[in-house]
């Protein structure tokens, strides 16, 4: 049972992480390409919110549908939490002596 739970959490966390990275790339990729932000500045937007991130979202307003612009940095942290939970639920294979 534990192995199945860990596997499902691992897959779910991986899917959430991939979705968060894709969502971040869709939101900030063009802003970096146009030189409004550096990769480092855009990377900060992956894990948190700042005024620079809000400005970048405003700059790419015309290029994407509105729901894609509103990148939610907590999606990244949610993915890490689910992946961490998968590691915590993984059973040990050794025997107790």
Residue 28 pLDDT > 50, yes or no? yes
> Which band of pLDDT confidence, cut at 50, 70 and 90, is reported for residue 59?
confident
pLDDT at 76: 93
Tell me the pTM: 0.77
Residue 95 pLDDT > 80, yes or no? no
Residue 2 pLDDT > 60, yes or no? no
Burial class (CB in 10 A: 0-12, 13-18, 19+), 25: middle
Closest CA to 85 of 39, 16, 29: 16
pLDDT at 57: 77
């Amino acid at each position: 049972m534990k192995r199945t739970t860990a596997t499902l959490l691992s897959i779910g966390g991986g899917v959430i992480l991939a979705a968060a990275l894709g969502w971040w790339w869709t939101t900030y990729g063009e802003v970096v390409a146009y030189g409004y932000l550096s990769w480092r500045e855009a990377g900060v937007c992956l894990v948190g919110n700042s005024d620079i991130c809000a400005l970048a979202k405003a700059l790419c307003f015309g290029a994407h549908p509105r729901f894609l612009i509103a990148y939610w940095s907590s999606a990244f942290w949610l993915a890490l939490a689910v992946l961490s939970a998968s590691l915590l639920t993984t059973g040990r294979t050794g025997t107790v002596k």
